Amino acid sequence: MAGGRDSRVRIDTILLVTHVHSGLQSPPSIGRDGPPQEKGTEMLKTDSELHIQNPRVTDKRDLHFGTVMETGPDTFTAMFKHVRFDLEPDQDIVIFYNLKRKFLQHSAKVVAVLDTEPALMIVLKTVGDPVSAEGREHYRVSTASAEIHARLESEENCTLVDISSTGFAVIAHADHALGATASAAVHFKGETFEGTVCIQSVRDIGRGRIRYGMRYLEDDAAAGTLKTGLQKVSIAVERDLLKNQSGKS
């Protein structure tokens, strides 16, 4: 055993010396490094300003100002003053912040609640990538008359009301929190495209129906087949709409 340990030390030393002489800035990873830093966490620096959406309000923006106090490898600590709602660990929320002259919206999860008085101090972890909060970045095609159905978590036969290459909206009955991630699927002409989505808008439209707007997570594993499927469906629906319009003219 001692010989094996000595061999490991010699190998590590050789790698380190070789790396230094090659002019590189840091030694190579030898299986002991932690997970890579989240993209969203890299965007938020200490003293950055941000806003948190009141999770109790889903039909409009109810933003509360805060400041990033500390950042870590994949989480950050933020302080919010004059907040009149409670948060709990593992709760899904939505934050907003400015970056490179763009106002962005980002889903996040509460990792820990450190304090509530005199200010709310929480540890957050971002989920997926941020999207523009200034308006839609991609053109959405109405599918209200196309009779396309989708699944949101375990609820099947949700009516698909619009779609783009990056997201879609459905009418469902079950409750889902703004900013939450969920399993979803779109059924189209015998094919099913599945993946993980982030719920970006929630609107109660009455009679037990809720309109959810969502976007697939950018991570390739989480996106599943939605990434290619949404592009395929949105193009096909738009083509069918153009055909119908040209036939009526």
Residue 90 has pLDDT above 90, yes or no: yes
Q: What is the pLDDT of residue 9?
A: 39
- Token readout for 99 is 């970056």
Helices (H), the chain: 2-21, 39-43, 220-223, 226-248
Domains of the chain: 39-132 (2.30.110.10), 141-242 (2.40.10.220)
CA distances from 67 to 62, 86, 98, 225, 243 (A): 17, 18, 12, 37, 51
Q: What is the pLDDT of residue 43?
A: 73
Average pLDDT over residues 150-175: 94
Are the CB atoms for 98 and 49 separated by under 8 Å?
A: yes
Residue 203 has pLDDT above 80, yes or no: yes
CA distances from 103 to 149, 172, 234 (A): 32, 29, 26
Q: What is the pLDDT of residue 120?
A: 95
Alpha-carbon Rg for the chain, nearest whole angstrom, is 23
Residue 35 has pLDDT above 70, yes or no: no
In 3D, which of 100, 102, 107 has the Cα closest to residue 128? 107
Give 98's contacts (C-beta < 8 A, 6+ positions apart).
49, 104
Query: Mean pLDDT score of the chain, rounded to an integer?
Result: 80
Residue 18 has pLDDT above 50, yes or no: no
Of the pLDDT bands very low, low, confident and very high (cuts 50, 70, 90), residue 247 is low
Rounded to an integer, what distance in angstroms lies between the CA atom of residue 194 and that of residue 221?
Answer: 11
Are the CB atoms for 67 and 46 separated by under 8 Å?
A: no
Are the CB atoms for 156 and 149 separated by under 8 Å?
A: yes
Give per-residue pLDDT as tens, 122-136: 999 999 888 888 655
Are the CB atoms for 150 and 169 separated by under 8 Å?
A: no
The 3-state DSSP class for residue 58 equals coil
